[in-house]
Amino acid sequence: MFGIIVGTHGRFSEEIIKSCEMICGPQENVRAVTLVPGEGPDDMAKKYEAAIAELDCADGVLFLNDLFGGSPYNAACRLAASNETYGVVAGLSLPMLIEMVSAQLTGGPYDILALMDRAAEAGRSGTQLFHASRMEEEADDDL
């Protein structure tokens, strides 16, 4: 099993996990780690290490972060730099998290690089556009 750690600025990580659980049910091997005002990367690293200690990480850890270059991301990268079974993906979204909790259900062995690619693709494909002005164009395409 691989652990999922959702690390974000503020309470976003807690709330996105709650949203995921509304769709996928309770998640046992996922943890939220929050960066609150006054904290920095060292605080996040300590919180990450505590979360790792609580999870089944036999096949690695996937850190899902909200923002590239932010303190949650930087702290995750520091940990991942010394462990090849750890991976970091920035740009957290609900489709990405749902895809990763679904991946946990498939059973191992898990390839952290493949999981990272899968998470990034879920984030990309979960981004869609809609505007009323395009409705006519799409209807014409269907003919």
Decide: helix, strand or coil at residue 83.
coil
Single pTM value for the model: 0.92
Statement: residue 138 has pLDDT above 70: no
d(CA 140, CA 91): 34
pLDDT tens readout for residues 44-78: 999 999 999 999 999 999 999 999 999 999 999 99
Mean pLDDT of all residues belonging to the chain? 95
In the residue annotation, 131 being an active-site residue is answered as no
**Set 6, 7, 9, 75: catalytic member:** 9
> How far lies 130's CA from each of 3, 57, 61, 135, in Å?
34, 39, 35, 8
The whole-number pLDDT of residue 108 equals 78
Reported as a single tens digit per residue, the pLDDT across 3-59 is: 999 999 999 999 999 999 999 999 999 999 999 999 999 999 999 999 999 999 999
In the predicted structure, residue 139 carries a pLDDT above the cut 70: no
